[in-house]
C-alpha cells in the first residue's frame, strides 16, 4: 500500500464555479513584521488571496505577475474575529492567507 495519488490541478478547476485570472487571485501583499522576517531570511512572501483560490492558482498567479519561480505554497483560512463596537457586537471578515516560498535565486521587491 503506497501513498494515494493526489488529484491533478485540472480536477480542482472543474469543481469551482468561477474562473480566476492571476490578478484576481492575489488581493494584496501582507507587509507585517513577521512577513518581512520571512522574506528576508527564508525568501517567503505572504499574500491575502481570493478565498476560492487553491495552491495551484496561487503558484501560477505569483509566477505570472512577478516572473519568478515558486517552490512551495502554504495556505491558511483565517477566521473572522468578534469585535465590540459602540452599537453592539460585530465581526471582522474571514480571509485566506498564502505564504509563497520562492526559488533561492528569485526575489520580489514591493517597494
Instruction: Dump pLDDT digits (tens) for 10-59.
Output: 655 556 667 889 999 999 999 999 999 999 999 999 999 999 999 999 99
pLDDT digits (tens, 9 = 90+) for 69-95: 999 999 999 999 999 989 999 999 999
**Rg for the chain, CA atoms, rounded:** 16
Beta bridge pairs of residue 84: 89
Q: Quick check: 6 pLDDT over 70? A: no
What pTM, to 2 d.p., does this model score?
0.81
Report the pLDDT value the prediction gives residue 110, as an integer from 0 to 100.
79
Amino acid at each position: 500500500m503506497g501513498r494515494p495519488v493526489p488529484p491533478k490541478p485540472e480536477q480542482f478547476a472543474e469543481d469551482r464555479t468561477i474562473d480566476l485570472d492571476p490578478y484576481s487571485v492575489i488581493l494584496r501583499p501582507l507587509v507585517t513584521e513577521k512577513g518581512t522576517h520571512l522574506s528576508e531570511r527564508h525568501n517567503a512572501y505572504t499574500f491575502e488571496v481570493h478565498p476560492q483560490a487553491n495552491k495551484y492558482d496561487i503558484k501560477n498567479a505569483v509566477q505570472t505577475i512577478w516572473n519568478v519561480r515558486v517552490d512551495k505554497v502554504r495556505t491558511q483560512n483565517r477566521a473572522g474575529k468578534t469585535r465590540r463596537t459602540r452599537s453592539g457586537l460585530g465581526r471582522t471578515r474571514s480571509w485566506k492567507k498564502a505564504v509563497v516560498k520562492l526559488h533561492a535565486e528569485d526575489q520580489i521587491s514591493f517597494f
